[in-house]
Amino acid sequence: MNSSAAPRVAVIVVAAGSGSRLGHILPKAFVEVAGRTILSRSLDPVFALADAVQVVIVAPADRLAEAEQLGSDVAGSASAYLTVVQGGATRQESVARGLAVLRASVQTVLVHDAARALTPTAQFDAVIDAVAASGRGAVPGLPVSDTIKRTDMLGIALETVDRSELSAVQTPQGFPRDQLERAYAEAGHDATDDAALVTEAGFPVAIIPGDPLAFKITTAWDLRRAEQELQPATALALPRTGVGVDSHAFALQPDEQPLWLAGLFWPGENGLSGHSDGDAVSHAICDALLSAAGLGDIGSTFGTDDPRFSGARGEVFLTETLRMLGAAGLRIGNVAVQLIGNRPRFAARRQEAESVLAGILGAPVSISATTTDGLGFTGRAEGVVAIATALVYPA
Ligand code: CTP
Ligand code: MG
């Protein structure tokens, strides 16, 4: 915030309510949402505004010092423009007490519910701009999507209200200072928002587009919704699947090297060639896991010219992949692999291979095997192919 000029705009943040509908032991503005109080979060967009703004926090009588501390923590170097005052018995009284401490330079006043803790800065900017451009009050609102019924005292439905005429209004509500002060001076009854009083005082108020994120935390359900909105996006995107394919050729000379496949040693079989031990099943699994985790692939991770992996067992790659997933906060849900080739005859050792690989990964591994009816390099027993899929989820 630029604090070089006397503020022409003030934001009164009303936070003095008890929050009876939330039903928390603390006053609502001092309840935490994802690790920070509702009041503190509601001040983020206010102190992020580009221009100098006087910020008035209206707090419960026994929490003035706490509100002052929260406010100056969020304000940083802009704290010179922070004022904390004690609230009243109703929202309207609380706003009136905020109005009483405005600086002389202030010409536009925004009134904001602390309970709308996730309101974007853009909504404040839009209200300030609309008041500046029109010289009128401006209030953000959203169209109503439910069908609205008027009911009698017994809860019996009367007529349907035409919702195209309705707007669900939010805060901040902005007004030229003189209009808001007149409206409060003349207020004859208790209203739940400021626009009602300004309209009754005879000043037009425009509705501008609101934002669903500016919803008011009123009930426990709203508090859970706010918590969910603050979850990191990556966590919401999970669990994730991945895919990996690998193929290796059999060594040209029988007995040139031993066969290691699916984590098992296969005595008497011709080995697979490659920089490592050629275990296509283990390699395909690594690729599927890295793919699910968004961590690249086995070639870019281990490097075929890295001497540490020369002749390395599949287990080395699997263990390192598992470590990388753990460091990224991920666990494996399961792994499924299909081995394609004529040799070795896999069925007899399938369960053994599954339990060795599941033991390394700490997650279920299922392996199936098939041939290609004599077609292609797998059909001619020149090599094998393995295709794996994996599921990972946040630890
Ligand atoms: N508010 C206030 N002073 C009051 C009553 C309300 O400053 N005497 C503030 C609240 O802190 C809130 C905003 O006005 O930020 C909107 O009011 P509401 O959501 O109704 O909050 P509460 O009155 O605290 O909640 P409830 O009506 O459930 O008791
Ligand atoms: Mg209330």
pLDDT digits (tens, 9 = 90+) for 43-62: 999 999 988 899 999 999 99
**CATH 3.30.1330.50 segments of the chain:** 234-394
CATH 3.90.550.10 assigned to 9-221: yes
Among 21, 28, 93, 218, which residue has the most ligand 1 atoms within 8 Å of its CB, making it the best to mutate?
28
The residue whose C-alpha atom lies closest to atom 28 belonging to ligand 1 is 21
Type of residue numbered 190: D
Q: Give the pLDDT confidence score for residue 23 in this predicted structure.
A: 92
Among 14, 66, 93, which residue has the most ligand 1 atoms within 8 Å of its CB, making it the best to mutate?
14
State what percent of residues in the chain have pLDDT above 70: 95
Average pLDDT score over the chain: 92
DSSP 362: T
- Give the pLDDT band (50/70/90) at residue 78: low
pLDDT at 112 over 90: yes
Beta strands in the chain (DSSP E): 9-14, 32-33, 36-37, 53-59, 82-86, 108-113, 137-143, 148-151, 157-161, 167-169, 173-176, 205-209, 240-249, 259-261, 264-266, 330-340, 365-370, 383-394
Class of domain 234-394: alpha beta
pLDDT at 1 over 90: no
- Give the pLDDT band (50/70/90) at residue 277: confident
CA of 92 to the centre of ligand 1 (A): 10
Tell me what the mean pLDDT of segment 103-120 comes to: 97
- Give the pLDDT band (50/70/90) at residue 237: low
**CATH 3.90.550.10 segments of the chain:** 9-221
